[in-house]
Structure 1
Amino acid sequence: MNGCGPVVVGVDGTAEGLAAVEAAAWEADRRGAALRLAHALTWVSPDVPAGVAPWDPDGAGTRDRVNQAFSDAEGRARRVAPHLVITREVQVGAPETVLGSESRAACLTVVGTHRIDGARGRLHGSVAGRLTARAGCPVLVVRGRHTRTGPVVLAADESPRAREAAGFAFAEASERGADLVVLRARRNGRTTADALSALREKYPNVTVRTPAVRGRHHRALVEASVDAQLVVVGVPRGGTTAVLPGSEGRSILRDAHCPVALVPAADR
């Protein structure tokens, strides 16, 4: 893959955050991209002692904690890919705002499934959705097992944005040397069928399987994620949930057994 920018990952010093860093390092290495470590500082009360920066009421304490989080993250990344180019960035703001800003120049943004600011806020479906609404690139939510085996699973429907997700899923399957399992939400319409036909020609090395979906679509995705290395879901840019209706989109982030890629696209 030829990335258009770095792989950005949220750093918070937690075990979940370090797992996300490892995944991001692997993604950056195979893309030939740099890795950008981003830390979001939540703005604190202005009632701090005179001469102390409002974002650092503990004086050097906050700076030391942030530097330690960066050092731990860089060490973990270098264990995965020793020769990566790694940069650091600290911004004041909510995690989804900071990472959304960083994502505009990135090829991929990676986040863990729990805290990503080290003190407040937890990454769950709604926060991931808010990040995706701001993101300028796909968002990889690292959860469950992170394996290099198994298929890539695509959640497909008939919306225009399904094309973006399908293109990303085919590219991932091709680069990973994996099969692509396409689970369709509906059988009517031509959007998905047309997109898949063109992408089969573009990626002839990808074996595509389209098993019948029995029962609820999101449950089929969760079951397929047990043996998968990645689930790919299209999301509306400016929206808050995945392409699946209502709470089903959020349930994929909550229940999937492997990382989930949220691919933003405009509904046209």
Structure 2
Amino acid sequence: MTLIHSVAAADSLPRGTCDADAVRAGSSLLRREASRLSSGFPALQVDVGLYRGSFVQVLVGLSASASLLVVGADRVALGPGGVQDPVVLGVVSGSLAPVLVVPASPRGVGTHQRTVTGHVVVGVDGSAQSSVALMYAAAEADRLGAALRVIMALKSGSAESRTLMDGASASLSKVQTDFPHLAVSWIVDVLRSPVHALMRHSRDAVLLVVGCHGEGARAGRKPGSVTRTLLLCPPCPTLVVPATESP
């Protein structure tokens, strides 16, 4: 695991802030957090990295060689006009690696593998991206020893419902083939929008898995509307899988 901290460029620091002091403070923070992690997880190798520039740009750049990025949902940065922008949206938009978004008060997911009771939730909408997210969710549920809960929000009686159901059934068959001992439940919610269905059914989840770009979203652009809304107030730790990834 590598802990990252970024320091603004010297000419971007607030008036009266000494660049050397900012660097020392960042280095001290990294040492403290690395020591805290090493104490709690003795077998974990912890490295640190102090970078210059935007936190978002630093993480996006590192995503090319990372297997996972972890970001707190409460991190914000000043955007144009002094508006506070959630850092996680910028990271998710550009990351080449999966991004785990941690709420301010996350429920614990266990210290060791296979110690979790509960559900891993994933949303499917018929898109290729959601199929990738489904396989990621199945792999995580299997690793954690949790059950898998698959959520599909459909408009009752719509013409596309049957096509989406058939596609989801094929994907679920692959999950059951690849993970024969995994407990899987499938919920078709005809009462709620995709956002509200995922929020409702992941309230007791240990992990929510979503694709960065869902049905109708433009690949390579900002996260789809469902993913973006969920990330503004994630109901539980939320894993966002980019379109370029496979489980």
The alignment's TM-score, normalised by the length of structure 1, stands at 0.73
The alpha-carbon distance between structure 1 residues 252 and 201, as it changes in their structure 2 partners (threshold 3 A), is same
Residues 229 and 103 (structure 1 numbering): CA distance in 2 closer, same or farther, change over 3 Å? same
Equivalent AA in structure 2 for residue 199 of structure 1: V
Cα contact 2:149–2:186 (8 A) shared by 1? yes
- Measured in 2, the distance between the counterparts of 1:205 and 1:196 equals 13
The residue that corresponds to 2:233 in the other structure is 255
Q: Distance in 1 between matches of 2:52 and 2:13?
A: 17
- Structure 2 counterpart of 1:3: none
Residue number in structure 1 paired with 2:206: 229
Q: Is the 8 A contact 1:159 1:191 kept in 2?
A: no
Q: Gapped runs of 5+ residues in structure 1?
A: 1-34, 49-55
Q: Which runs of 5+ in 2 are unaligned?
A: 110-116, 155-160, 214-218
Match of 1:99 in 2: 59
AA matched with 1:36: T
The alpha carbon displacement at 1:150 in A equals: 1.8
Letter in 1 for 2:197: A
SS in 1 for 2:140: helix
Q: 2:25 is matched with which residue?
A: 65
Q: Which residue of 1 aligns with 2:131?
A: 163
Alignment pair present for 1:206 and 2:182: yes
User: Which is worse superposed, 184-193 or 92-101?
Assistant: 184-193
Aligned twin of 2:11: 45
Q: Is the 8 A contact 1:115 1:122 kept in 2?
A: no
Report the TM-score, using the length of structure 2 for normalisation. 0.78
Counterpart pick for 1:218 among 195, 209, 213: 195
Q: CA deviation at 1:81?
A: 1.4
2: distance between equivalents of 1:200 and 1:107?
25
Quote how far apart the aligned CAs of 1:201 are: 0.5
Q: Specify whether residues 219 and 36 from structure 1 end up closer, same or farther in structure 2 by C-alpha distance, changes over 3 A only.
A: same
Matched, 1:109 2:69: yes
1:69 positional shift: 1.3
CA RMSD for the aligned pairs?
Answer: 2.9
Match of 1:140? 100
Aligned-partner Cα distance in 2 for 1:46–1:123: 18
Q: What SS does the aligned partner of 1:97 have?
A: helix
State the identity %. 27
Number of corresponding residues: 220
Q: Deviation string for 1:48-104 (max 9, x for gaps)?
A: 9xxxxxxx9614311221012102221332243112111111222222211111111
Partner of 2:114: none
1:98 alignment partner AA: V
Structure 1 Cα separation of the partners of residues 51 and 203 of structure 2: 36
Q: Which amino acid aligns with 1:67?
A: S
3-state secondary structure, aligned to 1:152: strand
